[in-house]
Amino acid sequence: MIKEVKKPSYGIYLKRALVMAILIFSASLVIVQVSSSSNHPNTTNQTPTLTIYTYDSLINWGLNPTDANARVFDAFEAQEDCIIELEYFDDANSVLAKAVAEKNSPKADIIIGIDNVLIYEAKAQDILIPYEASTMSNLLESAVNGLDPEHYVTPYDYGLIAIIYHKHLVNSTNVPTIDNLKLEDLLSPEVTQLLVTEDPTLSSTGLGFLMWTIGIYEKVLNKDWELWWNDTRNDIQVEDSWGDAFDVFYTPAANRPMVVSYGTDPAYDYLFYGEPGGTPSIGATVSHENNSEYGWLQIEGLGILKGTKNLSLAQKFIDWFTGKTVQEIIPENNWMYPANVLAELPDSYDYAIDPTTVKPLNDLFTTNELKESIDIWLETWEQVIILGYTSTATPLPPSLFFLIPIMIVVIRKKSRRR
């Protein structure tokens, strides 16, 4: 396209001459281009670009993130003669929000990080197209069915949401039940004031913890889950993202030596800081209720965005990402269990919480219940955190909803000043 630049007028005849010259020159370019194309019909191929949206910690928590990323993304580029453009976001919720915002004019081909709760919003927004990966027969069946049996997303890893703690700061002295922790043990202000978690409206980890509290209270203890959040709202610290919460966890001055994270964190600690023959310096726990261990299982997946212009390449990437080669990179770089059963686990995982030893709270919810209730639960959580519990569960007037983000910010600033 020729960009018009305004210049002083030199008369109508000069303008016509310039226009005629431009037309003749443009026509000559077309003739040359057509002639060139007819003589070389196969030289117009362009290297395809695969655009991927994901969260910023993907494959970035190992001993050598640069090498791990090269073995995942650079290797695929070399194998398929393509270019991969990665766009990172703070959390999977942000990834999904970006894809939804662009649904009418998508800019990405693949989205990585949609978990077994976010999948309902993703499908409701109609942003994905189904694909059954060539690796499907090697993927853990419970992970496939627990994430999406319709294959709009394909699982690549899974792991338990857990409460992580510094062993030298949290032990049987100040938290007597730490080795057999019940969710209600956290109702004690002295314990709650040690804990930092994530905002479930912004963080998939925080959303997993919200599901943990709902599952234990509603499905196991037969109580109103809002009561737990009401009783802890003034003592628990809530951060926007998992990364923000972890920063607080590792900041001594914050005095928050317990954080909502993942059951594989002790394995991470052992790999980075452990001594031969030693044990990790951090511990991990799930809920111990009625002589059973319960936990919320997060399953992460990747899917193809509707509107992609690189469908075949996107399908090949899903096959690659869920194949044995990449799946064996997942455990010590993404710190989750690989979805492919052929992938071998490293020795560090001797210190992780094995999901097969814990009763998944996920199984206590029906698909329709999750699909229909998640938005309601999130709205209710915001109301309880801001205003406290009300047994009538009366929704806020619409005119007050604009105040919620402002009030959350104020509460967080107050919490950080403690």
- We report the CATH number of the domain holding residue 203 as 3.40.190.10
What pLDDT is attached to residue 264? 97
- Residue 17 has what pLDDT? 40
Taking residues 32-38, what's their average pLDDT?
A: 35
Task: Give the per-residue pLDDT at 184.
Answer: 97
User: Is the same domain home to 121 and 164?
Assistant: no
291 pLDDT above the threshold of 50: yes
Q: In terms of domains, do 306 and 188 share one?
A: no
Residue 231 in domain: yes
pLDDT at residue 278, rounded to an integer: 84
Query: Which residue among 348, 369, 386 closes a domain?
Result: 348
pLDDT at 383 over 90: yes
Which pLDDT belongs to residue 398?
Answer: 52
- How much is the average pLDDT of 196-208? 93
Q: Residue 115: inside a domain, yes or no?
A: yes
Same-domain check for residues 292 and 309: no
Query: What is the pLDDT averaged over residues 211-233?
Result: 97
Q: What does the CA dihedral 6, 8, 13, 16 come to, rounded to 10 degrees? A: -10
Q: What is the mean pLDDT of residues 47-74?
A: 96
Domain boundaries, position 139: 49-157+298-348
- The Cα 349–Cα 193 span in angstroms is 30
Which tokens hold the place of 16?
A: 């016509």
Is 5 a residue whose pLDDT tops 70?
Answer: no
Q: Is the pLDDT of residue 75 over 60?
A: yes
Please name the residues in contact with 47: beta carbons below 8 A apart, sequence gap of 6 or more.
81, 82, 83
**271 and 328 fall within a common domain:** no
Residue 320: helix, strand or coil by DSSP?
helix
CA atoms within 13 A on the CB side of 370: 25
Give domain status of residue 291, yes or no: yes
pLDDT at 276: 78
Q: What are phi and psi of 317, to 5 degrees?
A: -65, -40
Residue 205 domain-assigned (yes or no): yes
The number of distinct structural domains making up the chain is: 2
Nearest to 284 by CA among 185, 187, 170: 170
Q: Which pLDDT belongs to residue 395?
A: 53
pLDDT above 80: residue 382: yes
Percent pLDDT > 70 in the chain is: 82
The answer to whether residue 310 sits within a structural domain is yes
Choice among 33-37, 295-299, 346-350 with the minimum mean pLDDT:
33-37
Q: Is residue 91 part of a domain?
A: yes
Task: Tell whether 255 and 342 lie within a shared domain.
Answer: no
Whole-number pLDDT of residue 391: 65
- pLDDT, mean of residues 197-204: 93
Q: Could you read off the pLDDT of 389-418 as tens digits, one per residue?
A: 876 544 555 545 445 454 444 444 433 323
pLDDT at 26 (0 to 100)? 44
Measured CA to CA in angstroms, residue 277 lies from 164, 218, 227, 347 at distances of 22, 42, 44, 12
Mean of pLDDT values over 306-329: 98
The percentage of the chain sitting over the pLDDT mark of 90, rounded to a whole number, equals 77
In order of 164, 170, 190, the CA distances from 257 in angstroms are 8, 7, 12
- Parallel, antiparallel, or unpaired: how do β-strands 49-55 and 110-115 relate? parallel
Q: Where are the alpha helices (DSSP H) in 215-310?
A: 226-232, 242-249, 265-273
Q: What is the pLDDT of residue 397?
A: 53
Question: Do 144 and 266 belong together in one domain?
Answer: no
Per-residue pLDDT of 97-138, as tens digits, reads 999 999 999 999 999 999 999 999 999 999 999 999 999 999
Dihedral of alpha carbons 7, 13, 14, 19, sign? positive
In 3D space, the residue among 200, 178, 49 whose CA is nearest the CA of residue 115 turns out to be: 200
| Co-location of 220 and 279 in the same domain | yes
Residues 324, 366 within the same domain:
no
Residues 118, 197 within the same domain: no
The rounded mean pLDDT for the chain is: 86
pLDDT at 254 over 80: yes
100 falls within a domain: yes
Model confidence, pTM = 0.81
pLDDT at 389: 80
Q: How much is the average pLDDT of 155-160?
A: 98
Residue 51 β-bridge partners:
85
Clarify whether residues 203 and 96 are in a common domain.
Answer: no
Same domain, 285 and 343: no
The answer to whether 335 touches 156, Cβ cutoff 8 Å, is no
User: With 70 as the cut, is the pLDDT of residue 325 above it?
Assistant: yes
- Roughly how many angstroms between the first and final C-alpha of the chain, as a whole number? 59
Residue 248 and residue 316 in one domain = no
For residue 106, is it within any domain?
A: yes
